[in-house]
Structure formats: structure tokens, C-alpha cells
Structure 1
């Protein structure tokens, strides 16, 4: 028979009798868990804050991608020379790197990083606690190297730092743009594509994560396009699609995600096939979150089912993921909602140029 607690007696210094209760392993583990839960959250200062501020419309600006400068270097991959591990996640998309401290990259190193992310679409850097712990002021300085920082109109951000977009979900609540009644939470998208000048290189990391689950899927819109026939690609180059932020705004106006809309929603027309300004690669540029046209249903289905063009990032503590929104799409995997664990992430989202049509002369 197994007992949950054992009792023994010892004589104390005054000949009295004292009772000492010895805890079972299960009780010890429970005490450790309770102590852990009482510890202050290390990144509480980065939890979602929903200010009532109002922002004016975004104005156009000139963007020069830093990857252009790296093209002129004798070795545009010199920032990887001290890496201890480099491995391609898939032939078409993604590279994992160990041994490079992103926080210590100089201006030239950041230029090289921008070019490498453009070429590979996605890069995963492990062991980046130094970067993560430098805080939101450093995040702003980092992101500004790659473009004008986007301030999201509806999402939560750390108090005082609206340029840092936060994702947050735990057992009781979600501050993400997602629908509970969907058959699957997988929704391929490129971030805030409804802006006139959507993001280019994006930096994202988790501050808290479930023990398992909560991975992020990525797909190469360059490789996906190459699967299509030449005549069909030529036809797609002639097309434009409307990217609208109104649905996202209505989602927040309904009281979800914090219930605020700080900038009036916009919609813009972008080419269905865009060209990267540095690499020249052509990529499909549509997604279900922000585009709604009949002919796009085929492209959505093609993107969904092209597993040979996709990579899955398994999150580990102190991981930073960078991707180029111009040539990739991504989706979070919401498979951890019953675990009781929180998934808390921060995104640094510099804007880039207005999408360049793959077809010269296409009027937008």
C-alpha cells in the first residue's frame, strides 16, 4: 500500500514530543509548482496594453532596402562566419543558425542579414536571450534599421511602445485576430498587407510558450509560384487584388482583441504577383485574411496544399525568427489552447516599399 505522507516522532530539546510530517514526491512537486507560480513574470512589462490613442493615416515614404548595400560587399554572408551551426530547414525555404548573436550585429551585419532573409525567405536564430532581454527601446532601434516601424491599428503593445506588436493567448483569453468557430486555425497570411507599404523583413520571438505546440508554419510564395504553368503565371501577372483592413477593424470593434481601433481602416490594391526589390524574385502576394476575390480561391488552395514549399518552426526558449513578408506567408498553429500555457510573442514590423508589380507597366 502506498501512503501519501509519513509521520514520525522525535524528542525535542525540552523532552517534549514533536511531530514531523514528511512530504511525498507528489506534494514536493506541487509545492515547487506553487512557488513557481508565485514568481513574478519576467516579461510582465511586455504584456499587451490597449491604449485609447488615435493615430492619423499613414503617409507614403521612400524605402531603400538595406539588402541593396549588402550586394556590394565582397562577402555578403560574412555575418555568418562565426556561426557554430547552419542548416537549411527545407530546400526552398528557411535556414536555422546557432552561434550568431543578433544583438551584436553592426550596421553592415544587419544589411547582410536583410539580404540573406530575402534570399532564404525565413531564418531561425537560436540562443538569443541577449537580444530579447535588451527590451523594447532596443527593439525599436533594431527594427528601424530595416524600415519605418509599423504601428498596428488594433493590436496590443507594451505600454509606451506602440511600435511593438504583441500576440498573446492563454487558457482564458486571446488577443489575436482569430476565429473560434473555424474548422482549423491555420490561416496563411502576410502581415498587414492592407497598408499601402506593407512590411518587408520582420522579427518575431516568443517571451512565453507552451511546452509543446504553438509552432509557426511558413510557406515560400516564390516556390509556390514556380509550381504553376508559364501561361498561367503570365496571366496572374496582369491581375491586381484588393487588400482590406476593414474586417480586422470590425473584429476589434466587436469587443475582441482589446476592443480598440486607433487608426481608420484602409484598403489598397496590390499586384497578385510582386517582384522583390533586391533579389528580383517573383512571388504570389495574396492571403485569406485581407483579400477576397473569386479567382483567388484557386491560389489559396494551391498555397494551402503545397507542403513541399513549407517549413515548420518549432519554438524553443530564446529563439528569434525573421522572415520577408514580401515573399512568404505564415500561420500560427493553435494546438495548445487546453494546456493552460500562455503563448506571448513580440513582433517588430518595419514597413517596406509599395509592392512592385512583376509585370512592368501594371497600373495600381
Structure 2
């Protein structure tokens, strides 16, 4: 992986100083620090047809054959497993299909010992990610220079280029990535190039389980609802000068079902999140706020639906963004250390309403 330092970034956020300091200190991944080119702008996203690779795995004689020589540990009953002994970099197409199905079923999959995958670098990561869907370019986040399809998270003791709010008593911010898009992501990958000695974990919750905890009559009511998801606040956050101050694509609002159905497993999942869901369609503000605040509070408190992914060197975490929500844990911000991560974000289908009559083969 290249560690060449670039010097063409022009912004007012101190990124040049950051990159210079990283070079002086011999940081291995200087070339993958975030940049925010001010001239970058992209047209609106257009709809596309998405076929989930997990569909093909359902037809395999053994849909988990890629795990034949692996050590698999369930992390909690409703969500999460850890896998050792699978090399993501060398999976063939059948293996990738089976991986997609495994992630859909377990929601979060933590793969250890992925040095081969991580060290292959940006071009390989993008080719790998395209197998699972059209890659998303984030409208406001940093990316490595020349690689806009790679979303970066970065925080050290003095700098943050993340979308985070410092005026709250709790830094946890449950969200489903860019749920405001017409076709939000499905299978998503994240790995850290650098992490603090302790802390900085990521927590996930199963939105399938949070929905199951609710009473049947209330779930039936939720199935009839749609909600607006908005990217405007995130864009305004950047326009205010934070996070590099870039808005690459005009922000959008989109309407999605409050309860969505997974296209492969057929499972129903709650699909609202505090970060991007704004209101229930057709309801007055107080009515909408009452429903959404109840659901947000339910998600926040549902510890029995959650799993914590602990970052070890050369770990890759895969999750199904359609049926989970997650949050970084900012318990390390007063400590020395860098948290520098790369996210590969394939888009999936437009959310399917739970009451839509579809046939599932699982």
C-alpha cells in the first residue's frame, strides 16, 4: 500500500498540517488521510436495478460452504458473529454470494486476520465492493485523494472529520448509513487503519429484533407508515465549515417505509433512525414526534438487540445496513491515539415495504 504524501489539498481545516505531521511521524497510511477538494461536485444519483448476491447463495447446495475451514463464533443470539480463517481477498464469486447471505442472516459479521485484504489497497477495495452493488460517493465526508468512493472516518486528540455533535450529553448516535438516499446501502464494510489502544469500538443493533419486541398491533400500525429521511442537516453541518466544508451533491429527502422487508431473508425490520429520519408522512408534528421519539428511545435502550464490535488490528466488519443501526463509541476522545477507518458502501434496492406481497425462497 502506497504511503506517498500528497500536497494538493486546499481547504481551511488544517488537513495539510495534519498530513505533514503524519509524514514526519512515519504514519503508514498518510496517503489515505481524508481530503475535501472544494471543486468536487456530482449530479443527483439516478435509480438503478439492484440484485442482491445473497439470492444466488440460496440456490447453493451448502450456502455456508465458504466457512468450511473457518472458526465461527456467535457473538449474541440475535445479532453478530466472529469469523477466523476466511480470507476476504481470495473469495470467489460463490463465496461472495454466500458471504452476502451470511451477513443478511447474522446482520453483523466480524472478520479477523484480514491483513491480505487491507494491504491490497484502494483499487482492490473498490473492485471488491462493486460486486455487492453500485458504490456510493458520500456527499460530505472525507475520502483518500483520487478515491471519492471510499468514505473515511478520522479522529485524533485534536481533530475530527466525522459527523458528530458535541453539544449532547451522550455521543452515541444511532443511524443507518445515508438512509436519506433513494437506494440506501446494503452490505457494508468498515476497517480501521489505526485505532486507539482501547476504546473506539462500534456498536450495532438489530432492527429486526427491535421490531419484534413491539406488540403485534403496534407493528401492524407501523407497517402502514412512511417516514421522510433527510440529508439536509448533514449538508448544513458541512456548509458551516465543519468536516472539510464540502457538499459534493445537493442534499435530498426521500420517503421510506417505517417497516421494511429484506429482499433475501424476508425479515421485517424497523427502518427509522435518530440521525436522518425527520417525520412521519401525513401526521401532525406532535403526532409524528411522539411516534418517532418512542421508537428512538426503544432503539437506544434495547441492549438485548445489540452487539459491540471490538476493533483488533486487521479486522473487517461487515453489516447489513438495511436491517441494522450502528454508532461509533467516542470513549477515547480524551486519550492519545488515532481512529482512522475506511468504509466501502455498495448501494442496494429501494426499501421494500413490509406489506408488499413478495415471494422469498429462504
Q: What is the CA deviation profile of residues 319-345 of structure 1, one whole-angstrom value per residue up to 9, with x for unaligned ones?
A: 000000011000000011111211000
Q: Which residue of 2 aligns with 1:93?
A: 79
RMSD: 1.2
User: Residues of 2 paired with 1:146 and 1:317: CA distance?
Assistant: 24
Residues 203, 309 of structure 2: 8 Å contact kept: yes
TM-score, normalisation: structure 2:
0.88
Residue 159, structure 1, aligned to residue 145, structure 2: yes
User: Residues of 1 paired with 2:23 and 2:233: CA distance?
Assistant: 38
What secondary structure is seen at the aligned counterpart in 1 of 2:244? coil
Structure 1 residue ranges (4+ consecutive) displaced by more than 4 angstroms after TM superposition: 36-39
User: Residues of 1 paired with 2:210 and 2:159: CA distance?
Assistant: 35
What secondary structure is seen at the aligned counterpart in 2 of 1:318? coil
Residue 315 of structure 1 is aligned with which of 302, 311, 314? 311
Residue 69, structure 1, aligned to residue 65, structure 2: no
Offset of residue 99 of structure 1: 1.1
Residue 57 of structure 1 is aligned with which of 11, 33, 44? 44
Q: Which residue of 2 aligns with 1:201?
A: 187
Offset of residue 360 of structure 1: 2.4
Q: Which residue of 2 aligns with 1:172?
A: 158
Equivalent residues in 2 for 1:20-39, closer than 5 Å: 39=25
Q: Which residue of 2 aligns with 1:117?
A: 103
Extract unaligned runs of 5+ from structure 1: 1-35
Offset of residue 40 of structure 1: 1.6
Tell me the matched-pair count.
325
Q: What is the CA deviation profile of residues 55-79 of structure 1, one whole-angstrom value per residue up to 9, with x for unaligned ones?
A: 0000000000000000000000011
Offset of residue 292 of structure 1: 2.2
Q: Which residue of 2 aligns with 1:137?
A: 123
User: Residues of 2 paired with 1:290 and 1:100: CA distance?
Assistant: 35
Residue 147, structure 1, aligned to residue 118, structure 2: no
Q: Which residue of 1 aligns with 2:320?
A: 324
TM-score, normalisation: structure 1:
0.88
Larger Rg: 1
Offset of residue 39 of structure 1: 4.8
User: Residues of 2 paired with 1:130 and 1:47: CA distance?
Assistant: 20
Residue 360, structure 1, aligned to residue 356, structure 2: yes
Extract unaligned runs of 5+ from structure 2: 1-21, 280-288, 358-362
Residue 282, structure 1, aligned to residue 271, structure 2: no
Residues 23, 30 of structure 2: 8 Å contact kept: no
User: Residues of 2 paired with 1:39 and 1:185: CA distance?
Assistant: 30
User: Residues of 2 paired with 1:180 and 1:57: CA distance?
Assistant: 30
Residue 41, structure 1, aligned to residue 27, structure 2: yes
Q: What is the CA deviation profile of residues 161-205 of structure 1, one whole-angstrom value per residue up to 9, with x for unaligned ones?
A: 000000000011100000111111101100000000000000000
User: Residues of 1 paired with 2:111 and 2:277: CA distance?
Assistant: 31
